[in-house]
Amino acid sequence: MTAPTLAERFREDFPILDQTVHGKPLAYLDNAASTQHPVEVIEEISRYYRESHANVHRGLHALSSRATELYEHARQRVAAYLNSESSESIVFTRGTTEAINLVACAWGDRLKPDDGILLTEMEHHANLIPWQMAARRTGAKLHFLAVNGDEGQVDWTRLESVLEQQPIRILALTHISNSLGCINPVAEVCRIARKHGVTTLIDAAQSAGHMPLDVQAIGCDFLAFSGHKCCGPTGIGVLYGRKELLDQMPPYQTGGEMIVSVNFEGAEWKPAPHRFEAGTPHIAGAIGLGAALDYLDSVGRKEIQENDHYFGRQAAARLREIPELRLLGPAGERAGIVSFQLGKIHAHDVVAFADQQGIALRGGHHCNQPLIRKLGLIATARASFYFYNTETELDRLVRVLHSAIAYFG
């Protein structure tokens, strides 16, 4: 199945795309920020609220039992999607950000002064600031693998020597850069880290909805992603963790639901994953996420991945032909993400100009301020594609960028 065929088959499943913006057909090219929702997900969430809404795990009545079954089925669905050893390795969170914060706090408190935390220079703030805070609390030290030039590649051949020379305890890295579109070799990285006894965390925010993911094949200790970047609702995310690690970690937040018993002097926690889900969870979000993962499997995750690579290649090639455009990201295989600086035009002006033509882009530092500054930039414009995008929309983007150059002089 070719990339354009996916849009022909599945675009009509997304009702939000059938609209005009400023009198022009909507071309939604901001999928790295949030993907849109197919009818199946919208209807599944609506069905839950119409037929089964109640609090989970806390009641013996029929609605509560039904809601609990749906919620825990969603956990099992996520486990299958990731090929997790068990659904007990799946913790529901508010998103990737909370999942990484959970690990940085609950696992990170075992760090000692001068222990090493290894990151790349391309990390999203969500996989940087939590580790900065962990280092501040514990005295651990941050180390970074450099990003090289506009292509943004990390020299992974240096990893082994870094792990041999520095007392690294954890390596946290993004699978796919949300700014550069780089695809990092996470399985090989985790293999090397494991050989040196280093714990690994994968930020899969940009990969979970775009390719097959197998945590056992990757060999990671933790993996995090958000529902809203893979056709699911906002406010729901996932932390996968190896069960033996999760059971060693203290709770991240406390309150109702995550306890076995409480007295005035203390409390006994539930085992993972429930010890990390204090309070009433986002039940509808979890159910919607399960429906989204079902939908993505029906489309075909390998096909979605091929679609991403197709549009990444095509968009990069087309944009490189535009005079004065500085393109970021790898020259070879890349995800369906292209970030660029268009001459001396500020990224916000590019995005506003495109919006007037019905094209939704993203402009700014993309929660990558240190990386953008290292590249000598203030902001970039970004187009990011998904399987419901069309080549006609790419053509429109190219025309609009040429028009922007003419308009802004």
The domain locations on the chain are: 3-30+301-408, 42-298
Cα 36 from Cα 296, distance rounded (Å): 12
**How much is the pLDDT for 59?**
77
CA atoms within 13 A on the CB side of 248: 11
Helical (H) or strand (E) element with 384: strand 380-384
Q: Which residues are catalytic?
A: 367
What single letter denotes the amino acid at residue 346? Answer: H
Residue 40's CB is within 10 A of a number of other CB atoms, namely: 16
**How much is the pLDDT for 58?**
78
Straight-line distance from the first to the last Cα atom of the chain, in angstroms, rounded to the nearest whole number: 41
CB proximity list for 127: less than 8 A, separation 6 or greater: 100, 119, 172, 173, 174, 201, 203
Is 238 in a helix, a strand, or coil?
strand
**How much is the pLDDT for 60?**
86
Per-residue pLDDT of the chain (409 residues), as tens digits, is: 456 689 999 999 999 999 999 999 999 999 999 999 999 999 999 999 999 999 999 778 999 999 999 999 999 999 999 999 999 999 999 999 999 999 999 999 999 999 999 999 999 999 999 999 999 999 999 999 999 999 999 999 999 999 999 999 999 999 999 999 999 999 999 999 999 999 999 999 999 999 999 999 999 999 999 999 999 999 999 999 999 999 999 999 999 999 999 999 999 999 999 999 999 999 999 999 999 999 999 999 999 999 999 999 999 999 999 999 999 999 989 999 999 999 999 999 999 999 999 999 999 999 999 999 999 999 999 999 999 999 999 999 999 999 999 999 7
Q: Which of 324, 335, 325 is nearest to 387 (CA)?
A: 335
**How much is the pLDDT for 96?**
99
- Give 201: exposed, middle or buried? Use CB within 10 Å, 0-12, 13-18, 19+: buried
Class of the CATH domain delimited by 42-298: alpha beta
Residue position matching structure tokens 């514990």: 138
Q: What separation in angstroms does the CA of 255 have from each of 97, 241, 278, 347, 399? A: 21, 22, 5, 44, 54
Q: 398: which 2 tokens? A: 């190219």
β-pair type (116-120, 168-174):
parallel
**How much is the pLDDT for 3?**
60
Instruction: Quote the strand ranges of 49-112, DSSP E.
Output: 90-93
The superfamily (CATH) of domain 3-30+301-408 is Aspartate Aminotransferase, domain 1 (3.90.1150.10)
Question: What is the pTM for the complete model shown?
Answer: 0.97
Q: What are phi and psi of 343, to 5 degrees?
A: 55, -135
| 231 touches 41 (CB < 8 A) | yes
CB proximity list for 148: less than 8 A, separation 6 or greater: 154, 155
Strand partners, 141: 116
**How much is the pLDDT for 5?**
85
Is 261 in a helix, a strand, or coil?
strand
| 87 touches 79 (CB < 8 A) | yes
Q: 397: which 2 tokens? A: 């983007």
